[in-house]
Structure 1
Amino acid sequence: MGRFALVVMVLAFGCSKGGGARGAAGTERGDCRTGDNKCDQGLLCLSNLCVRPPAADCKMVSETLASLDLGNYAEPEERAPVVAKYKASCEKTYVSKEEGECLDKARDKWTAGQCAPRLFPEMTAKGTDCKQVSTKIESAMKQMQGMENPQMAQYLETMVRVVGQSCVEDAWPDTVKQCILMQSGGADAMQVCNQQFPPALQSKLQERLQTAMREQMK
C-alpha cells in the first residue's frame, strides 16, 4: 500500500472515531430543540448546535449579588453565607460570562433578575397577584374625572391590559405589588408606589405603554 493511501486511511479512521453521534437535542453538543430552537439551561444554540459559553466569575457574581441584598457594609459573618449561596447557585445554573458582566452592572435586584432570571426563581410574578394589581389600578383610575368619556375608557382598558402583561412578564417586585394593593385612595394615592419601581422597570413599562397607545391610534 502506498504511503499516501495509508495516510488517507489513518485520517479517515480518526475522523470517524471523533465524529460520533451527537447528544440528545437540547443537551451539550446536541442539536438545538426543534420548535423553540433552544437548549438546556446554561447552553446556547449556535448554528443548530448546543454549546456551553464561557463561564462567569462566580466569586465576583456572588459578591455583587450579596451587596444588592445586604448593602456594602454588612458584617463578614452576615455576608459570608449570602456570598456562598449565590456562588453555589451561579455554578449550578452555569451563569455565562456575558450574564456575569450584566450582573456586575446591575444596581438593584430586579435589574439583576433580567440578566440571569434562573438565579432568582422567587422573583417570578404570580398571575393571581398581577390580576389583583391590574384590578386595583383600574378601580383607582376610574375615579379620575373624565373617565366616562368613551375614548378615555378605551385608553384605560389598554393601559390595564399592558400593566397586567408587564406585571407577569417583567416579574414586578413584591414591594411594588404590595404597595399598589395597600393603597386605598385613587390614582394620586398610588403615586407613592412609583418610588418602589426600579428605574429599568419603569422604562420598560413606559415603553410598553407607548407602543400600545401608538398601535391603538392607528
Structure 2
Amino acid sequence: MQIKQSSKGRSARGKTKYKCKTCGKTSYQATNHKMGKEQKERVLKEYTNRMSMRGIARVEGKPLTTIYSFIRRKGVEAYAYLLLLQGRLEGFTAKATVLDESWTYVWARHGQKREDLWIWNALADGVPFFITGDRDYMTFSFLQDPLPESRVYYTDGYSVYQVLDKHVVGKRYTVESYHSYCRAHLARLARDTRAVNRDVGIVEYSLALLNVMYPVVYSREKTPLNEAYLKGIHYIRSKLI
C-alpha cells in the first residue's frame, strides 16, 4: 500500500513522492508488490520444500513482510478448508487408524523462553489429521473428536490412548515416517533451525499448506475414506491458488 509523503514529500521539480508501507522504499511511482498466479504457486512450493521465508524473499525479490503475510494468509485459508473437509469425512469408517505425537517448540530451542509444543497426528486409512497443544488428554480429545470411526486403533503405550476401543499397543505402530516427512518439508519443524516458530498458529497453518500442496496418503490400499480425502484436497488446492 502506498501513501503520499507530506511537507518534504516533493522533489525540486514538484513531483509527489510515495513511500511504501511494506518495505519503506521512497519513489516517485507506487511500488508494486503484487504477485501473479505462477509466482504465488512457486512461493508456496518453495515454502513447503524447506525454504525459509527470508530465503524465499531473496529468491523472489519481494519484501519479507509481503512473503510472510501471503504465506500466513494462505495457511489460514488451507487450515479452514481442511477443517470443513474433516467434517465431511466423519461419516466414513476407517479400516485402521494410527496415532502418535511429535515434539517441537516455540520461540527458542533452549532457555527460559522456550515453549514446548506437541503435534498430535492420526493417520486414518493413511489420511493425516493433526492438532497442536500440550501432551495431555484434553489435546488428544480435540484430535479424536473429528476422526472417522475406525475398526482398530494402533498406538504406542502412552496412557491417554487407553480410552480407545479396539486398541492395539505396539511401538511399531507409530507415524514416525509422517513426522520425518513433515520435518523434511518444513524448515520450522526441523530440530535445529533458524526458522523459529513465533506462535502456534504458524505451525498449524504450515502443516495445512503442506497437506494441500503435497497431498500424501500413507496407505497402499485405496478406501472410500482416502479417495474422498484426495478428491477434497485437489478441490482445496484449486481454490487456494
Q: TM-score scaled by structure 2?
A: 0.26
For the pair shown, which has the larger CA radius of gyration, 1 or 2?
A: 1
More helix by share: 1
TM-score by length of 1: 0.28
Name whichever structure is richer in strand by fraction.
2
